[in-house]
Structures are given as structure tokens and as C-alpha cells.
Amino acid sequence: MARCPELEIIEDFYDAVECERIYRRLLHEQNWPDNRYAVAGRQFTLPRLQTWHADPGIRYSYSNNLLQTRSWTPLLSEIRTQIESTLNFSFNSVLVNLYRNGNDYVGWHSDNEPELGEQPFIASLTFGAERQFEFRHKKSSENGRVLLRSGALLIMQPTFQHHWLHSVPIDQNVMEGRINLTFRKVVPANQAKCLIFDNSKHVSATTYRFWLKRRDRQKNLRAH
């Protein structure tokens, strides 16, 4: 099984208590829409529930065809702020997926719509049940998977979408729900080509873990 250098994972971005709080709130506050859609006169059922939130003026064809754009809720804004300050990157939208149980899934795809620009940087947060995230190289036979646990932040570097497909397959052993948030940056069409991703601005997972430990040490110091 391949390791994928274009994926980084930060386990425990949120601890168990925070995960429980966030999962419950999202589950009850999101006002989930029906998952039956009609596009160009054809009906289909999405194998999960979804909401899409974006800054004013942001248009995304996937979501515009399927979903109405909602504004940011206080909880989603709070999470966005925490992710942005950790990754030193600003996102203007989030796709929220509810997998009601292991029968809900997302099929093979890459998030490479033109609106995400040539360098789509995506940060993906998981709450609730753990599920496998699978990836498969577009040209070679390489493939692999990572287990996404509650509280984990998966960072998909821009080239991940160029080289790999990903999916969260059905897992009939999973009875509980899972909520996943993928933070994205939709760029205006006339800027899509010139959004150059500046790697040097990013905090790697290793640096981040180091930073977290330091922050916790400081918290303990303050607490005593």
C-alpha cells in the first residue's frame, strides 16, 4: 500500500470532548436538506447529506447545481478560524458531509473543479465515526488508505488533486454517523490560473505537533 506524500494528517486537532460537542451541534443545528436532487431533469439520490457554506459572492458549480449556498454558522466560523490560524491559509467555503452510517459514502473523485484554481488546497476535518479514506493514483496502480478518526485534520496538498482520486467507501460495520468538513478556497475565474500556492507559508504536521505541545505546556504553566 502506498504512502502518499501529498497528504498530511494531524490527529487530535480536536480532543474527544471537543469532538463530541462539535459533532452533536453540527448534527442538530445544520438543518440537513433532503438528499434527492434533480439536475438537468434527472433525479438522483446522494449517498450522504450535504450543506455548503461560503463567503458572500462565492460561486461553485458543483454546489450551485446541487445545493443552495448558506452563510457561515457561528460554529463553522469558529472552526474555520482555528484551522486558518494553524495552517496560515484562508478558506472561503466549506462543504459539510453527513454520513448517517456506514452505508453512506463518497465515490472516487478528485476535487479539481476549475473554481478551486490550479492549486486546490483542502483541509478536511472529521467528527464522529471513524472511516477509511482511500486514495488511488490516476496513472499508476498505487493506492492506499488512511483511517480518519474523530478530531483528525487531513491536509490535502494541491498536487494531491492532480495525481490521485479519493473516496470514503461503504463500511457495513459502521453503525454511527460521521460528519466531515472540507474547507476550500474558491477563486474567481479570472484569478484561477494565477493563484500560486506558496508552500513556504504552510505549517507541516510535524511543526504543528511541536507547536501544540508547546501550547499545552504553556497552558499547564498558567494553570498552576
Ligand X SMILES: O=C(O)CCC(=O)C(=O)O
Residue showing cell 505546556: 217
The nearest distance, CB 119 to ligand X, in angstroms, is 16
> Should residue 174 be labelled a site residue for ligand X when binding is judged by CB under 6 A?
no
Mode of pairing for the β-strands spanning 49-54 and 42-45 = unpaired
67 φ, ψ (degrees, to nearest 5):
-125, 155
> Should residue 184 be labelled a site residue for ligand X when binding is judged by CB under 6 A?
no
Answer for which of 14, 89, 133, 164 binds ligand X (CB under 6 A) is 133
> Should residue 63 be labelled a site residue for ligand X when binding is judged by CB under 6 A?
no
71 φ, ψ (degrees, to nearest 5):
-80, 175
Residue 207's H or E segment, with its range, is helix 205-223
Distance CA 27, CA 40 (A): 30
- Name the residue whose CB lies closest to ligand X: 180
Answer for which of 75, 112, 182, 205 binds ligand X (CB under 6 A) is 182
Residues 54-113 that bind Mn ion (CB under 5 A): 111
> Should residue 96 be labelled a site residue for ligand X when binding is judged by CB under 6 A?
no
> Should residue 111 be labelled a site residue for ligand X when binding is judged by CB under 6 A?
yes
Q: Where are the alpha helices (DSSP H) in 73-147?
A: 74-87
Residue 4's H or E segment, with its range, is none
Looking at the Cβ atoms of 95 and 174, the one nearer to ligand X is 95
> Should residue 124 be labelled a site residue for ligand X when binding is judged by CB under 6 A?
yes
